[in-house]
Structure 1
Amino acid sequence: MHIHILGICGTFMGGVAALAREAGHRVTGCDAGVYPPMSDQLRALGIDLIEGYAADQLALKPDVFVIGNVVSRARLPDGTPKFPLMEAILDAGAPYISGPQWLSENVLQGRHVLAVAGTHGKTTTTSMLAWILEHAGRKPGFLVGGVPLNFGVSARLGSPAASAYGAARQGEAPLFVIEADEYDTAFFDKRSKFVHYRPRTAVLNNLEFDHADIFDDLAAIERQFHHLVRTVPASGRVVVNALEESLTRVLHAGCWSEVTTFGDAISDFGASGEPGDFDVLRRGQAVAHVKWDLSGVHNQLNALAAMAAAEHVGVSPAQAAEALSLFQNVKRRMELRGTVRNIAVYDDFAHHPTALRTTLDGLRRVVGKDARILAAFEPRSNTMKLGTMKSQLPWALESADQVFCHTAGLDWNASEALAPMGARAHVAGDIDTLVTQLMAEARPGDHIVCMSNGSFGGIHAKLLTALAQP
């Protein structure tokens, strides 16, 4: 089969491309500003990439066009289509399908799917779960919205899919771990992506308001999470964070599967000890111990969720804890990019206020109260650009000693939003000015955390270069 993917350089669609290529399909794709690291990964797999969405790509005549959710029917100010290739596909009546649906029909069938959903921690928890299963010798397939350092790739097929539909029910199906995103599927399918995955094991890590560009309120997201719960069979398991009232509401709307909780002292899975060194409790009894390099209560909770999901497919908490002691995290999750003049520079994917706070709180636990944390952040997600959560920023950033905000592209006043932080807050409309501000403030012993769900203008390399100057 020849598939041509529109929006191929996104982490999800790039993962779909890699899986399709591994399965033996011919894969081509296009994107605007074909960009690394996904472009490099895809070219290494022998996938031809085309810059832009020109209509002449229709001449490729693939068996099907796979449409990423970056594609829309939008028009430019002059009235021309933003995605002329999509218009040509529709005019020609050419076959097209969404990425999640193609994945469901061509990869996930015949497998025991373990899906990890949640506002925060999806990528890390999915990576933990895949590594636990790999360490246990189960050779899972996976698709992660990042690059787990234990694997070095964002997606792989794993063991061949079972040929019989009944294999999953009988416990014989190969395993596939997938990051289950609640964002919509495509411009022609406004359901959340995860509704297509039909998991037998579903992790509901947490749930709060996000994606203000497509959801009106928290209730709308809860409804999508309940749609996911509806697809889990009675023999399946729903792993739920017991600390989240929103998830309690989701389950109260109806649940037809076994429920396993994690998070607090009375949960099925709990923890005793610091996030970097803790006992794992199974209904209050210590059954395993985790000692690792990760920090933050959020990662402790991610670990419990992954262990509860792994148990459902026969991996004991003790086996899982052993695997987690060797877990290397994910690229761009508190990734140390370098240390110059005893000043450490980190890269982190945090962009939602809660994620900003948990990232900084986790670092504070590690470095102690006397070390200084300089937080540089870019409100880049659609939700943050809209300013929906700007009032939460002082709360999110309070663990930092100094805060530096990149304001390019914002329709709201970042200085006003950060005013409660007083002289600790700095704003800049371009990256070079932000670097200059940081350099004026940084001193030996500091920890600089750069937080964005984009490239942040290469600020990490610019900081390290500036710090290396005499």
Structure 2
Amino acid sequence: MPHVHIIGICGTAMAGLAALAKERGWHVTGSDHGVYPPMSLFLQDLGIPIQETFAAENLNPTPDLVLVGNAISRGNPELEAVLERNIPYRSGGQWLFEHVLEGRHPVVVSGTHGKTTTTSMIARVMDDAGWHPGFFIGGIPKDFGLGARFPRSPWVVIEGDEYDTAFFDKRPKFLHYHPKTLILHNLEFDHGDIYPDLEAIRVQFRLLLRLVPGNGQVMANFDDPEIRELVKKAYSPVVSYGLNHADVQYSARLHRPDGQEWSVLRGGEELFRVQWLLLGRHNVLNGLAAAATCLHHGMEPTQVKRGLERFQGVARRLQERFAINDIHIYDDFAHHPTAMATTIDGLKCKVGAHRVWVVVEPRSNTMRSRAHQERLAPALAQADCVLITRPAPRGMTLDQLLDVDAVTEILNRGTVGPLPKAKVIANGVEASEYLTKHLKKGDHCIIMSNGGFDGIHERLYDSLKGIQP
């Protein structure tokens, strides 16, 4: 049995590769730091041992191959040992192409946000229709309980991440995937730690577009002006979809403002109506992208409808963790102002007059910086109450860090009441204490973080359950 060791195994992509390698008969080990759910539990359930520190000793016995996560840099003691001992190594993207994608039909979902949910939807719909797809997703779809699965057919549905690949390969990961079908969902500025501006990201999407063969397919969201401009350079047939653009092949009609009932239209004619669990116009757009992709590849409308209505969602995407005394606590991965705004809007449409709290931990390199300084307050404006932590410097100077005081000052303008609309907090512990004191029956609270956030959900559960209704 070949042995693969994964450095940085708890990243969403690398954990998915671990699952694929395990499924294909590899002995899998790994290492990481800052290990927390859901990936820690996911790997534990697979029986994959994790060393919670980086050390040369983790490479004993010597593995046949090492996969290096994109967060791992030179100076990491484990990586240095790999290089010094001449152990074969690969990036995750390269391994995925060589062992899973080559010779199959990769369906790659790209965009600044909505990738994880849209990829999960396509995988669910294809699976429900008996197409037996493989998938590689940067999260845990509730329908499958794991983020990766080896295909039993030509179809492989992949989340196409524009972040860089590895310490020795600074190209975006999605350039390794060679899509036969490419979904271009949206394009905005993100990943300010590796891209200096939006044009730098555009360049990478143009390269991705060039990889689609002439007999392939490009599914393009025409609501996004960046995407409309991008596909003018396509060498493959382009299929358009959108909610707000008149001249598209696939569109949607909302029957409820919260997005829980909507119709799919092709050429302006309704094909079917969807009633599902998800909230928000953004998820309708995600669902439309999934529906258009499957329909255009020949799936029957009844099969697409059934798959969408059975879709259970993705862990950490407006996932309700618990409700105590009619206080509802959600977990959400949102780390971009657009995603934040659409998530808040979806929940507000659902709960009506009930208060919506939002707790934000700016944790990614881009969110900790001032890349979204001007956009963050407008993105949070629909929330009734906002708590936001001061970002950790981690190599940034004060004038480079997000100015959270300025964000809360904007949100508090013109507000009246016993509590400020927005407040700066130190960490998840302080947030939990403040919420426990001020949350009331009927409130809904979204915790927005792409990390563990000091175990805030567990702290809130323990403190709220001790309060008499």
2-structure distance, mates of 1:404, 1:42: 32
After TM superposition, the structure 1 = structure 2 runs for residues 144-223 of structure 1, keeping only pairs within 5 Å, are 144-159=137-152, 174-223=154-203
Residue 34 of structure 1 deviates from its aligned partner by 4.1
Matched residue SS, 1:366: helix
Question: For each residue in 1:167-208, what CA deviation from the matched residue of structure 2 results, as whole angstroms up to 9, or x when unmatched?
Answer: xxxxxx521111110000011111110000111111111110
2-structure distance, mates of 1:429, 1:103: 40
Matched, 1:15 2:16: yes
Cα 1:444/1:261, change in 2 over 3 Å:
same
1-structure distance, mates of 2:33, 2:224: 38
Paired positions, count:
447
- Opposite residue 53 of structure 1, the aligned amino acid is F
Residue 211 of structure 1 deviates from its aligned partner by 0.3
Contact 1:116 1:179 in 2 (8 A): yes
Matched, 1:426 2:406: no
Match of 2:415 in 1: none
- Opposite residue 462 of structure 1, the aligned amino acid is R
**Moved runs in structure 1, 4+ residues, more than 4 A?**
none
Contact 1:295 1:366 in 2 (8 A): yes
Cα 1:139/1:414, change in 2 over 3 Å:
same
Equivalent in 291, 299, 309 of residue 293 of structure 2: 309
Superposed CA RMSD in Å reads 1.5
Cα 1:383/1:299, change in 2 over 3 Å:
same
- Opposite residue 226 of structure 2, the aligned amino acid is S
2-structure distance, mates of 1:312, 1:59: 50
Matched residue SS, 1:60: coil
- Opposite residue 142 of structure 1, the aligned amino acid is F
Cα 1:26/1:436, change in 2 over 3 Å:
closer
After TM superposition, the structure 1 = structure 2 runs for residues 59-458 of structure 1, keeping only pairs within 5 Å, are 59-73=60-74, 81=75, 83-159=76-152, 174-252=154-232, 254-263=233-242, 264-273=245-254, 274=256, 275-368=259-352, 370-410=353-393, 411-422=401-412, 423-458=420-455
Question: For each residue in 1:13-55, what CA deviation from the matched residue of structure 2 results, as whole angstroms up to 9, or x when unmatched?
Answer: 0100110110112222211244443233323333232232212
Match of 1:76 in 2: none
2-structure distance, mates of 1:445, 1:35: 30
Task: Choose 400-409 or 25-34, whichever is displaced more.
Answer: 25-34
Question: For each residue in 1:389-435, what CA deviation from the matched residue of structure 2 results, as whole angstroms up to 9, or x when unmatched?
Answer: 12211100011011111225153431122211113111111222212
Kindly, what percent of the aligned residue pairs are identical? 46
Residue 64 of structure 1 deviates from its aligned partner by 1.7
Contact 1:377 1:406 in 2 (8 A): yes
1-structure distance, mates of 2:404, 2:323: 29
Matched residue SS, 2:435: helix
Residue 261 of structure 1 deviates from its aligned partner by 0.9
1-structure distance, mates of 2:140, 2:59: 32
2-structure distance, mates of 1:447, 1:44: 31
Q: TM-score, normalized by length of structure 2?
A: 0.92
1-structure distance, mates of 2:231, 2:139: 29
Question: For each residue in 1:353-383, what CA deviation from the matched residue of structure 2 results, as whole angstroms up to 9, or x when unmatched?
Answer: 1111010001111112x22111111111110
Question: For each residue in 1:268-322, what CA deviation from the matched residue of structure 2 results, as whole angstroms up to 9, or x when unmatched?
Answer: 1101123211111101111121111211110000011111221243213332122
Matched residue SS, 1:128: helix
2-structure distance, mates of 1:468, 1:180: 40
Residue 226 of structure 1 deviates from its aligned partner by 1.3
Contact 1:104 1:197 in 2 (8 A): yes
2-structure distance, mates of 1:401, 1:91: 55
Contact 2:161 2:172 in 1 (8 A): yes
2-structure distance, mates of 1:248, 1:412: 31
1-structure distance, mates of 2:305, 2:459: 38
2-structure distance, mates of 1:412, 1:224: 26
Question: For each residue in 1:195-240, what CA deviation from the matched residue of structure 2 results, as whole angstroms up to 9, or x when unmatched?
Answer: 0011111111111000000001111111111111111111111111
| Structure 1, unpaired ranges of 5+ | 74-80, 160-172
Residue 440 of structure 1 deviates from its aligned partner by 3.2
| Structure 2, unpaired ranges of 5+ | 394-400, 413-419
Contact 1:34 1:49 in 2 (8 A): no
1-structure distance, mates of 2:173, 2:391: 30
- Opposite residue 38 of structure 2, the aligned amino acid is P
- Opposite residue 277 of structure 2, the aligned amino acid is D
2-structure distance, mates of 1:413, 1:108: 43
1-structure distance, mates of 2:385, 2:47: 45
2-structure distance, mates of 1:127, 1:106: 21
Matched residue SS, 1:17: helix
Contact 2:427 2:453 in 1 (8 A): no
- Opposite residue 122 of structure 2, the aligned amino acid is L
Matched residue SS, 2:310: coil
2-structure distance, mates of 1:268, 1:130: 22
